Amino acid sequence: MLDSILSMLITLPAILIGISIHEYGHALAAVALGDDTPRYQGRLTLNPFKHLDPLGFICLLTVHFGWAKPVVINPRNFKNPKRDDIIVSLAGVVMNLITAIVFILIYKIYVENFTGFLYTEIGQILRVMLFYVVRINIVLMVFNLIPLPPLDGHHILQDIGGRRVYNFYHQYSQYIRLGLILLLITGNIGRIIGPPVYGIEDLLFSIIGRL
């Protein structure tokens, strides 16, 4: 029980950083492309409490897979609605990738230059917290690229696929969302996105470790 609580507390900063960066990326891209809707709704911020979705947050905290409250946009404000919607959809995952890379660099500097402190109890907790910032950001990046509603991958595929894809999602979206929630609750989503998450994580650590 205590171990579970400690694990949640250690991963909490990573979750708050990951969802804040992800949703801020969407909001920033939308505003830059001409849609001020996120600004008016208070989403152009790194404040995590503006982005929390209760169920998604609980899933992230317990099974390390989840989501934040989607940033609402109005594609009619874009000069090129389909292209710009794809850019906005990708902005969140790109921000997660950049954040993962930055924290791998911080992790590398920490373990190579603070060896005395590293092997203290607090030092080990800090090391794990830094690692989880990397892990959670990669999880959010991969998870959000799944082409299922309400995830970013669904918006991207819908913009590329046109009316036929839109009609399919519109007809079956409730069933797809229910299936996605069941995968999250049962933890089976890890079997789907685990391999790419660990693969990307290993690749980034390997590349940055050579610097």
Mind telling me the catalytic residues? Answer: 23
Could you give the dihedral angle defined by the CA atoms of residues 167, 175, 180 and 20, in that order, rounded to the nearest 10 degrees?
Answer: 60
What's the chain look like in SS3?
A: CHHHHHHHHHHHHHHHHHHHHHHHHHHHHHHHCCCCHHHHCCCCCCCHHHCCCHHHHHHHHHHCCCCCCCCCCCHHHCCCHHHHHHHHHHHHHHHHHHHHHHHHHHHHHHHHHCHHHHCCHHHHHHHHHHHHHHHHHHHHHHHHCCCCCCCHHHHHHHHHHCHHHHHHHHHHHHHHHHHHHHHHHHCCHHHHHHHHHHHHHHHHHHHHHCC
> Please, how many CA atoms are within 13 Å of residue 32, restricted to the half-sphere of its CB?
11
Alpha carbons 99 and 105: distance in angstroms, whole number: 10
